[in-house]
Every structure is written in structure tokens, then in C-alpha cells.
Chains A and B, each alone.
Chain A
């Protein structure tokens, strides 16, 4: 079982070098619109994948992509050239997604009167034909019940297909912490999804 696919289902658009990215950042600072368009083009899908993994909704994910790049534009002057732009971008995206997700979850709970944690997982007695769909929806709901950092790491790792080092840079934590939190996320998911994964505990 290999999760970080070498073919990268959602690769960065251009594979541009750090120097090229720095050049674009400098041009954006000086007010070059085309450079900003190019920068967005390079990273929009990567941000979308992260946002979609949080919201599982195309419209919300696209809105999040727009907010992320608007924030990047506002903060571009404070970006230090010696920093890794990818890590900075993912950090901004992650923070925005978590903020939006919290607001959206609170709204959903207020509207339905039911906490997300209380929504039952998929029915154990579902027919086999629906098993895959149930597994996906059960996983989606279980991921929502993870602690925030575990959830972020799980989604970054398995949906955005980011490596441990990249996640560590984006979250400003050590690779060891990423591994540990990832393991805890899997263990918790096994508990939450017991009937779906054949876990007896």
C-alpha cells in the first residue's frame, strides 16, 4: 500500500524552480498583474485539492482558492525571499480552510440543531454494492471527527498527497510530529469506522 503516488495525481502546475517563483513574487510586489496570474496558475489546483478535502464541495473550495490568493496578494510584501513559497502558500491555505471550515460547521450545526459528531456513521447493514460509497461517506464523517491537526495531516497526506517533509514545513512542526499525528489519526479512524474496516475493537 503506497499512498504518496510517484505519479502525483495532483501535481503542481508548472514544476517551476524556486528562482522562477521568487522572480514572479518580486514582479507581483511591483504590481505586475500578469505575474500574479501566472503565480495563481501554478498553484491553484494544489490549493483547490486542499480546500476540497476540507469542504468536499466544489463551490466552497473555489471560494477558498480565491480567498487564499487574495490573502497572498495582501501579504506578499511581508513574504521573505529566503522562505519557501510553497510552504508559505500551503500554510496560508491551511489556516484559511480551517477558519472557513469552523464557521461552516458552526452554521450547519446551528441550522440543523445537530452536532456533526452526533450524525451516525453509515449503516452497517448496507448492501455490498453500496459498500464503497458507504466507506467513503463514513470516512468523510469520521475525518470530521478527528482532532484538527490530525485531520489536517490526514487530508494533506492522503488527499493532497503531500509528503511528510512538505506537511512539516507547512505546519511548522517536525517530521516526527507529522508521523506521530498521522499514526494517531489512522488509529482514531479505525476506531470510528470499526464496522466498515472490520475492526472488532
Chain B
């Protein structure tokens, strides 16, 4: 069916009382001149005659409803409902359209991920004890403890190694195998585990490396049997000298002591 473009454009003017009289009169003039639009308009009028018949039905149905009783009946049903049904809807309406719900859901998921991803790696342990301190203060305290423990470890190791290096190979063997030396070696090895934890937390890689070398030496010494030969003692002495272990211990101690908080 060919449709005059004017029919689509001005169709509503022909129906609406709210459009200006000028618009309607122009539309009527067009209908008089355009047989195509006139034909379609007549067909539309027939449809609306059917709609008018539907309105008659509505009118008849309305006459059979008891309008005076209906509001009371509805109000009774509404007020008989539990109060919580209204409270549940008492929150402000944000117009829950899918796009808003999706955006809000995304925001919540994103915020949760960011929270778990960025939260501090050091859970604030002092809070559990009821102590409150800033994160920066706690970091500095941790570093200070790490340095003190490391210096203590280095001092004890240095003293033991000095005794060993300065002794003759024959005496050195006895020095390492007496009861006191064995206990000191074991103490230093267990202390090293404590120092390791502090060094890791304080990210002191250089100190950790030197302490590891000392540890390897003490592990070696702890495995040596009572019958240590002069040759073995000499070999260990050479190892200490070749690695400049005593010098490095001194330098590290000085460095740690100088930078101590």
C-alpha cells in the first residue's frame, strides 16, 4: 500500500483535540485533496468506531461494579497485611533497572577485589593485643630488632671464629670439639633461624647472604667428629681467610651499627 508521507506525519493531528486548529484544518484540506490519505483515513475511522464500541462495553461493565464498597474492601486487605511488608519497601527507590543493578554489582565486586589485593601484607598484630601504633612505627621497630639480632649473631660468630683462626691447626681441632664449643655452635645455628626471619621481614639481603655463609661454616663444624685432624682444621681456617669472613663480619657489624635507629 502506498502511503503518502503526509499521512504518517499528520495522522495524529487529525485525531488529537490538543493540536492547534490550524494543524487540524491543514490536515483536513490535505485529506480533501489526497485520495490516498482520504482512503486510509476512512479505514482508520472504521477501526476507531470499533474502539468506541469497546468503550461502550467498559461503560456497561462499570455500571455493574459497586464503587462505594470497593475502596473499603481494598483498604481492609491492605491494612490487614503485616506491617513488615511495607517496611521492606521503605527504602528509597533507585529505579532498579538492570543497568544500575549491574553497575552496582560490578562496583561491589571490584571494591572487594581491590580490598584483598591492596590490603597491607602485615596484619596489624599489635591491634590484637590492644596496642595501637602506626604502620610506619611498626616497620621501623621491626628493622631495629632485625639489626640488633643480626649484630648479636655476628658478634658471637666473630668471637668464635677469631679463636679458631688464631689458634694453630693442632689446637684449633681441640677448640672446635670441646663441650663448650659444641654448645656455642648449636646456639649459633638456632639463633640463625631467628635472625633469618628478621632479615627476611626487614628485606636485608646483603646481611642475610653473609649470615648464610657463616651458617654453612658452623653446619660444617657441627658435623666434624671429635677426631678432627690438623689438616682439616687448617682447611677450615683457609676457608675463613679466603672468604674474608671475619673482615666481612666486621664491616657488616659496623654498617648495621651505624645505621641503627
> Which residue from chain A places its CB closest to the CB of B72 in the assembled complex?
A37
> Which residue from chain A places its CB closest to the CB of B8 in the assembled complex?
A183
Interfacial residues of chain B within 74-112, with CB under 8 A of chain A in the complex: 74-75, 77-79, 81, 85-86, 89-93
Against A, the Cβ 8 Å flags (1 = close, 0 = not) of B17-40 are: 110000000000000000000001
Stretch at the interface among B41-49, B167-175, B209-217: B41-49
Q: Once bound together, how far apart are the Cα atoms of A161 and B41, in whole Å? A: 20
Q: Within the complex, which residue of A53, A76, A183, A190 is in contact with B47, where a contact is CB–CB below 8 Å?
A: A190
Kindly state whether residue B126 has any CB partner on chain A within 8 Å.
no
Contact across chains for A36 and B78 when beta carbons are under 8 A apart: yes
Q: Once bound together, how far apart are the Cα atoms of A38 and B75, in whole Å? A: 10
Q: Once bound together, how far apart are the Cα atoms of A49 and B59, in whole Å? A: 9
> Which residue from chain A places its CB closest to the CB of B79 in the assembled complex?
A33
A45-B67, A48-B62 in contact; A70/B50 too (CB < 8 A)?
no
Count of A interface residues, CB-CB < 8 Å: 62
A37-B72, A186-B11 in contact; A4/B65 too (CB < 8 A)?
no
Contacts of A70 in B (CB 8 A): 74, 77-78, 81
Interfacial residues of chain A within 69-100, with CB under 8 A of chain B in the complex: 69-70, 73-80
Contact across chains for B58 and A52 when beta carbons are under 8 A apart: yes
A1-B48, A4-B18, A37-B72 in contact; A197/B92 too (CB < 8 A)?
no
Count of B interface residues, CB-CB < 8 Å: 50
A37-B72, A158-B51 in contact; A58/B65 too (CB < 8 A)?
yes
Contacts of A56 in B (CB 8 A): 54, 57
**A190, chain B: closest CB distance, angstroms:** 5
Contacts of A75 in B (CB 8 A): 89, 93
Contact across chains for B50 and A135 when beta carbons are under 8 A apart: yes
Contact across chains for A135 and B57 when beta carbons are under 8 A apart: no
Contact across chains for B58 and A10 when beta carbons are under 8 A apart: yes
**B80, chain A: closest CB distance, angstroms:** 10
Interfacial residues of chain A within 170-192, with CB under 8 A of chain B in the complex: 179, 182-183, 186, 189-190
Q: Within the complex, which residue of A41, A140, A193, A201 is in contact with B1, where a contact is CB–CB below 8 Å?
A: A201
Kindly state whether residue B178 has any CB partner on chain A within 8 Å.
no
**B203, chain A: closest CB distance, angstroms:** 55
Contact across chains for B73 and A53 when beta carbons are under 8 A apart: no
Q: Once bound together, how far apart are the Cα atoms of A163 and B78, in whole Å? A: 31
Kindly state whether residue B260 has any CB partner on chain A within 8 Å.
no
Contact across chains for B50 and A139 when beta carbons are under 8 A apart: yes
Contacts of A37 in B (CB 8 A): 71-72, 75
Contacts of A136 in B (CB 8 A): 50, 53-54, 57
Contact across chains for B17 and A2 when beta carbons are under 8 A apart: yes
Kindly state whether residue B155 has any CB partner on chain A within 8 Å.
no
Contact across chains for A3 and B46 when beta carbons are under 8 A apart: no
Q: Once bound together, how far apart are the Cα atoms of A152 and B46, in whole Å? A: 19
A139-B47, A190-B44, A198-B42 in contact; A66/B11 too (CB < 8 A)?
no
Contact across chains for B61 and A61 when beta carbons are under 8 A apart: yes
Kindly state whether residue B244 has any CB partner on chain A within 8 Å.
no
Q: Can you identify 23 A-B contacts, CB atoms within 8 angstroms?
A: A3-B51, A40-B75, A44-B71, A48-B62, A49-B58, A52-B57, A52-B58, A56-B57, A66-B73, A74-B85, A78-B90, A78-B92, A133-B53, A135-B46, A136-B50, A139-B53, A158-B51, A158-B55, A179-B12, A183-B12, A190-B43, A193-B46, A198-B43
| Besides A3-B16, A58-B65, 4 other A-B contacts (C-beta < 8 A) | A4-B15, A73-B86, A135-B50, A186-B11
